[in-house]
Amino acid sequence: MMEITSHSSIPFCLLVSLLFCLCSSAAAANVTYDGRAIIIDGQRKLLISGSIHYPRSTAQMWPDLVKKAKEGGLDAIDTYIFWDSHEPRKREYNFEGDLDFINFIKIVQAAGLYVVLRIGPYVCAEWNYGGFPLWLHQIPGIQLRTNNDIYKAEMQTFTTLIVDMVKKENLLASQGGPIILTQIENEYGNFIDKYGDAGKQYLQWCVNMAVSLDVGVPWIMCQQADAPPPTINTCNGFYCHKFVPNREGSPKMWTENWTGWFQAWGDGQPHRPAEDVAYAVAYFFASGGTYQNYYMYHGGTNFARTSGGPFLVTSYDYDAPLDEYGNIKQPKWGHLKQLHSAIKLMEKALTYGDLNTTNIGNGVAVMKYSAEGSTSGCFLVNVNGSNDVTVTYNGNAYFVPGRSISVLPDCVQEAYNTAKVTTQTTLMINKPASSKFSWQWHPEKIKDTLKGKGSFSNNSLLEQIMTTGDTSDYLWYMTSVTLNQSDPLWNDTMNLRVQTKGHILHAYVNKHLIGSQYATKGNYKFDFRQATKFQVGHNVITLLSATDGLANYGAFFDMQRAGIDGGPVQIIGNGNHPLDLSNNTWSYKVGLNGERSQIYSPSSHHGAKWKSNTLPTNAPMTWYKTTFEVPAGNGGLVLDLEGMTKGQAWVNGKNIGRYWLSFIAGNNGCGPCDRRQPYNSDNCRTGCGKPSQRWYHVPRSYTTQGPNTLVLFEEVGGDVAQVNLQTVAVGTVCANVLEGSTLELSCQGEGSFTDIQFASFGNPQGSCGSFTKGSCDAPNALDVVKKACIGQSQCSIDVAESVFSSSGCSEPRKSLAVQAVC
């Protein structure tokens, strides 16, 4: 409360109005809902939201991301809360810097947008262990996501903490803040049956617990067909137009419309066409939807070891409208922005009006919303991918391409069609930003483990996650065995067999690396067998097991095991009787020495002597260090790790994530991408046959103006000489726009157009990067475009016959295609 003192020099009336302003700007909003929509202060709302997960970017990036989301036509930002990041050790909290979610919410609030807070605290999200801290797993007697008192107490403690923090800052709409919706649990409905009655009891408990927190805004549960009142069940998926809420009186809400897809090691990069996202969103609103959220609007990066999985890449770009570095991704961002403004014109009709659907046949329909006291709004829906149609409606003709939707906010003028993209396509390029790095190196000291010396021992083969508490990817398993030539199994070469639950194994016998093996995606258990020479007498077996992101999804995902866990570990020689070492005394060591001494940290006093002499190539278990300067500007910084194999990278002591370049994307999914076909995540990929991820985001806020330190840990062996720093910049800009529209091109704030590589008005073919002229082509197209664009940072051209010389043909729908360079 502001203190009013008598010697205040502010006139009383002004003071009163100032106070009034403070109060009114923080006026509580009444958020309710009915079967049509979320209602804010008595008004039904049509809400467009987008997910931005604060720990997948940096606090420095948040204001710009939120600004671009607002410019893209969003009303709300949706985020999860990431429990494991906030409470890495029990009752030790971190809400600072890039984890200051209160600051994130305030930035969204300052931009005038709403917030949808999905507390979970289970989040899935392709995030390590679904966002659960690993210490939960280590509490004796705990069972996660079911009717277990120990778990429920922890979930309640954390959820209450978050709600209290938010309340203290008055961030709930009921307090005048931006948070209009809150979520408890997440996609539990997909698996509730697997948890039996305990699952049902847990579900009801979640609802009671959430309601008792008295947030004053509705609680939602996504993918929860039986969401108990008063929570609202919402839909997640690529398409949600068929979704029906589980209760009359609940609005049709879409919490996760996947704008693309996440990527695993061994996959190409997923892309979902802008036309297809727009089609799904338009169809959802045409079918009575009133709240929809893009998952993701900005995907970002799985920094450090936050990537879930197992085997998910470090980038979480998701083919979202804002790319991993925060750049606007065109045409997706612009094409959706246009959709949002067209839909917003129909807010009243869509949320208050009645629907009259007229089926025209062949999968074509007119969907008309009419409300008293407002203009009617129409959608011309063509679900038939093989059928371009001209719809005649109220005497006007509308061209509706196959599998597309036209939006007519006044039922007369076509404001938008999901398949007619007038937004430019922008191809980003990477530009070199560093001279050759000068490297030092340091071998990870593994003498002790090669000798079999760990820090504790056990008479069995332990499960890895429980043993490490996920404090490191690495766990060493070591034992020794005495052999002699009169052993019945003796042979000059015998097989070492290790059965492991994954995810990666490196095996050493008598200090020699005898082999490595990785799990395959989806099947993390594997059998390692390698013939090797043992020696008479004492033999030491050293096994290094590594995890690569913990499971985040599925019934009982938290119980998935990793590491050699029971084995068996055997020596197989002559005869059928393997020598089983599983019940030997095993010695253990968690993590790497370099991790323990924080060798990657500029302030570490590990005493490691970095060597500058002959740089080893293809040396396993090696640390590399260099320094670099950061180029000026705001362009995204990326590390090109070509030449490296598998490991982690740190910039000024901050872990930018795991890398794994030897994991090559398979050949599936990189075929042609047809927007006329329903999208699924196995289509439309790029980069098959190449490393799944070659470039790694270095956030600008991790760097300084002085020299920066880069440290790599290479597990398998690589050629560090090829590593270099690059900046991400706008490269080629293209558009292909139908007659009757305006073609607009922009360098997106990075300089001006220097060259027009292609321009054709007529029936040009192909796409950005591979345009060719068709059978008709106006000869002056290149001149017109050059005149309008060269030297400009943006330009626009009316795509009309009158602007161009004769194209010499009677093509019914001509278009102008342009390819330009900034």
Ligand X SMILES: *[C@@H]1O[C@H](CO)[C@@H](O)[C@H](O)[C@H]1NC(C)=O
What is the rounded distance in angstroms from the CA atom of residue 406 to the CA atom of residue 420? 9
H helix runs in 115-263, sequence order: 134-137, 149-168, 196-212
Q: Which amino acid is at 60?
A: Q
Q: Are 121 and 81 in contact (CB under 8 A)?
A: yes
CB of 17 to ligand X, least distance (A): 25
Q: Which residues contact 3 (CB under 8 A, 6 or more apart)?
A: none
* Rounded distance between C-alpha atoms, residue 569 and residue 500, angstroms: 9
Query: Any catalytic annotation for residue 256?
Result: yes
Q: Which of 748, 673, 672 is nearest to 423 (CA)?
A: 748
* Cβ distance to ligand X smaller for residue 359 or 775: 359
**β-sheet bridge partners, residue 47:** 291
Is-contact 639 718, C-beta < 8 A? no
| Neighbouring residues of 618: CB distance < 8 A, sequence distance ≥ 6 | 717, 718, 719
Nearer to ligand X, 71 or 214 (CB): 214
The token pair at 380 is 């011309």
In 16-134 the beta strands, taken as DSSP E runs, fall at: 31-33, 38-40, 43-45, 47-52, 76-80, 114-120
Rg of the chain on CA atoms, in Å: 30
Q: Which residue lies nearer to ligand X by CB, 5 or 482?
A: 482
Q: Which is nearer to ligand X, 109 or 587 (CB)?
A: 587
Catalytic annotation, pick one of 185, 256, 444, 715: 256
How near is the Cβ of 462 to ligand X at its closest, in Å? Answer: 6
**Distance of alpha carbon 365 from its chain centroid, rounded?**
35
| Structural tokens at position 74 | 């969003």
Compute the distance between CA of residue 65 and CA of residue 45 in angstroms, rounded to an integer: 24
Q: Which is nearer to ligand X, 157 or 680 (CB)?
A: 680
Q: How far is the CB of 789 from ligand X (least distance, A)?
A: 39
Q: Could you give the CA distance from residue 700 to residue 326 in angstroms, rounded to a whole number?
A: 12
Minimum CB distance to ligand X, residue 682 (Å): 9
Shortest distance, CB of residue 447 to ligand X, whole angstroms? 25
* Shortest distance in whole angstroms from residue 751 CB to ligand X: 40
Least Å from the CB of residue 235 to ligand X: 6
Minimum CB separation from ligand X for residue 638, in Å? 30
Establish whether 187 is a catalytic residue: yes
The nearer residue to ligand X, 201 or 491, going by C-beta atoms, is 491
**Exposed (0-12), middle (13-18) or buried (19+): which is 701, by Cβ within 10 Å?**
middle
CB of 191 to ligand X, least distance (A): 13
Any bridge partners for residue 563, and if so which?
none
395 phi-psi bin (left φ>0, alpha ψ -120 to 50, beta other): left
Reported in sequence order, the residue ranges of 591-707 that DSSP labels E, i.e. its strands, are 622-628, 637-640, 646-651, 654-660, 695-698
Q: How far apart are the first and last CA of the chain?
A: 53
Cα–Cα–Cα angle for 787, 789, 793, rounded to 5 degrees: 150
Integer CA distances (angstroms), 114 to 111, 164, 182, 527, in order: 9, 19, 12, 51
Write down the least CB distance from residue 396 to ligand X, Å: 13
Interior/surface letters 545-561, b for 16+ CB within 10 angstroms, e for the rest: bbbbbbbbeebebbebb
Instruction: Indicate the residue among 185 and 715 with the shorter CB distance to ligand X.
Output: 185
CB 299 within 8 A of CB 325: no
Runs of H (alpha helix) within 322-409: 332-344, 347-352
Asked whether the beta carbons of 514 and 604 are under 8 A apart, the reply is no
Phi, then psi, of 797 in degrees rounded to 5: -135, 130
- Looking from the CA of 186 toward its CB, the CA atoms found within 13 Å total 24
Instruction: Return the number of the residue (280 or 698) whose C-beta is nearest ligand X.
Output: 280
Q: Which residue has the closest beta carbon to ligand X?
A: 237
Task: In angstroms, give the least distance from the CB of 458 to ligand X.
Answer: 4
- Active-site entry in 126, 154, 185, 187: 187
Choice between 28 and 161, CB closer to ligand X: 28
Cβ proximity to ligand X: between 356 and 535 the closer is: 356
| Cβ proximity to ligand X, 6 vs 459, nearer residue | 459
Alpha-carbon span 171 to 169, nearest angstrom: 5
Cα(784)–Cα(817) distance, rounded to whole angstroms?
12
Beta bridge partners of 698: 637
Residues 760 and 816 sit within 8 Å (Cβ to Cβ): yes
Minimum distance of ligand X from residue 356's CB (angstroms)? 4
Residue placing its CB nearer to ligand X in the complex, 30 or 520? 30
Reduced to 3 states (helix: H, G, I; strand: E, B; else coil), residue 179 is strand
State the burial class of residue 14 (Cβ atoms within 10 Å of its Cβ: 0-12, 13-18, 19+).
exposed
Q: How far is the CB of 748 from ligand X (least distance, A)?
A: 32
Name the residue nearer to ligand X (CB basis): 152 or 497: 497
Question: Which two tokens mark 213?
Answer: 């927190």
Token digits for 379? 């959608």
Q: Are 39 and 31 in contact (CB under 8 A)?
A: yes
Residues that bind ligand X (CB under 6 A): 30, 32, 39, 42, 235-238, 356, 358, 362-363, 384, 386-387, 458, 460, 462, 484, 486-487, 491, 574, 580, 582-583, 680-681
Q: Supply the residues annotated as catalytic.
A: 187, 256
